[in-house]
Amino acid sequence: MLPSTAFTLLWSLALFTLASLSLLYILRCFLHFNMVKDEFLHHVGVNYLFAPWISWLLLLQSTPFFMPGSNYYLALWWFFVIPIVALDIKIYGQWFTKGKRFLSAVANPTSHLSVIGNLVGARAAAKMGWSDSSICMFSLGMAHYLVLFVTLYQRLPGSDRNIPAMLRPVLFLFFAAPSMASLAWNSISGTFDKSSKMLFFLSLFLFMSLVSRPTLFKKSMKKFNLAWWAYSFPLTALAIASTEYAQEVKSSTAHLLMLVLSTLSVVVSLILMVFTAFNTNTVLPKDDGLQSPIDTGSPV
């Protein structure tokens, strides 16, 4: 049990980081709108547009400063969920209507981020007690998760183009989505019931499946790159889900699992922070690592 001050400190640190990052991105929107547009048009970059909203929602859920039922919480929830829904409408609609951006052409593991966005919004809503909006977001997320899961598993020919080898760490997002879904359903139904357990087990299985294939990640692990941060969030989500699971099923194996996963996620996050600190010069290259297929050749 961390003392609450330590928790508040950590949370404030996270808030500060996120706030500064958001500010920087707002500046980028104003000053380098071309680059933002390019990100929007890129099949991988577009999914990361969900990332700030996800982060804000996660921060909102864990805030120590006001309770979930309060008006602040409500207002902020609306503020963060509306962009997610707007992006949903745009991107999911593109999946099955826009020729150049059909799902079969653009599907890649980072598309899970859109699903995760919905699920995080669902969880935040459920914590408020708004069951209908939470179920709405949840069903949105799960329906598209189903489609995405199948598409990614099929690995239709040509889909290899979508992920360069350096971005293989994003494969970890495969098990981030079911973990978040398990947590969301846990919040919606009140207990860690069978569906949550099933989602958690699916996530665990996918995690083990990926971890037992180190050769997949060999190429991307040769040198530190920003994609390594893709490891952190899924591991943390899985660890949180395992915590909920262990609380429900009070068995020794569950607790052991929780311990292992939590340790792993903390260690990985720390290592990533250290690596990033030592490699700040390489982390921010002159241009975006991704070459947009519809690159307009914007100057940096």
What is the contact surface with other proteins in residues (CB under 8 A)?
146, 149-150, 152-157, 171, 174, 194, 197-199, 201-202, 204-205, 208-210, 212-213, 215-216, 249, 251, 254
Closest Cα partner for 243 from 219, 264, 267, 270?
264
User: Maximum Cα–Cα distance for the chain, whole Å?
Assistant: 58
For residue 216, the minimal CB distance to other proteins (Å) is 6
Residue placing its CB nearer to other proteins in the complex, 209 or 263: 209
Q: Are 188 and 247 in contact (CB under 8 A)?
A: no
Cα→Cα distances 199→104, 126, 190, 241, Å: 25, 18, 15, 10
Residue with tokens 């500060």: 16
Whole-number minimum distance, CB 200 to other proteins, in Å?
A: 8
Residue nearer to other proteins on the CB measure, 136 or 198: 198
136: Cβ–Cβ under 8 A, 6 or more apart, which residues? 122
- Amino acid (one-letter) located at 222: K
**Ramachandran assignment for 149, one of left (phi > 0), alpha (psi -120 to 50 degrees), beta (any other):** alpha
Q: Are 175 and 233 in contact (CB under 8 A)?
A: no
Q: How far is the CB of 155 from other proteins (least distance, A)?
A: 4
Closer CB to other proteins, residue 140 or residue 148? 148
Cα–Cα dist 292/34, whole Å:
12
Separation of CA 182 from chain center? 14
How far is 128 from 145, CA to CA, in rounded Å? 24
CB 165 within 8 A of CB 108: no
Supply the minimum distance, in Å, between the C-beta of residue 252 and other proteins: 12
Q: Kindly state the smallest distance separating residue 156's Cβ from other proteins, in Å.
A: 5
CB within 8 A of 188, min separation 6: which ones? 122, 126, 131, 134, 135, 138
CB of 154 to other proteins, least distance (A): 4
Are the C-beta atoms of 67 and 129 separated by less than 8 Å? no
| Minimum CB distance to other proteins, residue 268 (Å) | 21
Pick the closer one to other proteins by CB: 174 or 228. Answer: 174
Residue whose pair of structure tokens reads 């150049």 in the numeric block: 100
Give Cβ neighbours of residue 127 (< 8 Å, ≥ 6 apart): 61, 68, 187
Query: Least distance in Å: CB of 176 to other proteins?
Result: 15
CB closer to other proteins out of 216 and 259: 216
